[in-house]
Amino acid sequence: MNNREVNRSADNNNIISTKYILISLVLSVLGMAVVIYYTYTPGVLEHLRLKRMPGLVLAFCVMMLRVWFIAAKIRFLAEDHLTWLGAFRVALTWDFASAVTPSTIGGAPVATYAMSREGIKLGKSTAIILYGVLLDQFWYALAVPILLIAGIWYEVIPPEIGFVGAATMLVIYAGLLIYGGLLTYGLMVNPRTLKKIIKAIFKLPLLRRQQERVNEEAENLEEYSHELRQKSPTFILKAFFLSTMAWLCRVAIPVIVVLSLLPAHEIMLVLRSLAMNLAFLVIPTPGGSGGVEGLFAIFLGPLIDRTAFIGLAVFVWRVMTYYVSVGMGVIATTWYVNQKVEEVIQDEPEEMTRVEM
Structural domain range at position 224? 3-356
Q: What is the pLDDT along the chain (357 residues), one digit of tens a residue?
A: 433 333 333 333 455 678 888 999 999 999 999 998 998 877 766 767 767 778 899 999 999 999 999 999 999 998 888 999 999 999 999 999 888 887 656 677 888 888 888 888 877 887 788 788 878 888 888 888 899 899 889 999 888 777 777 788 888 888 878 877 777 777 677 777 766 776 776 676 655 666 666 666 566 666 667 777 777 889 889 999 999 999 999 999 999 999 998 888 999 999 999 999 988 888 888 888 999 999 999 999 999 888 888 998 999 999 999 999 899 988 988 888 777 766 666 665 555 455 455
Cα dihedral 172→173→175→177 (10° resolution): 160
Does an H or E element contain 93, and which?
helix 84-100
What b/e string do you get for 277-286 counting C-beta neighbours within 10 Å, with b at 16 or more?
bbbbebbebb
DSSP letter for 302, please. G
User: How many domains are contained in the chain?
Assistant: 1
Q: Which of 307, 290, 265 is nearest to 156 (CA)?
A: 265
The answer to whether the beta carbons of residues 280 and 292 sit under 8 Å apart is: yes
Closest residue by Cα to residue 128 from 100, 99, 96, 94: 94
Under 8 Å between Cβ of 100 and 323: no
> What Rg value do the Cα atoms of the chain yield, rounded?
22
End-to-end alpha carbon distance in the chain: 19
Q: pTM for the full model?
A: 0.83
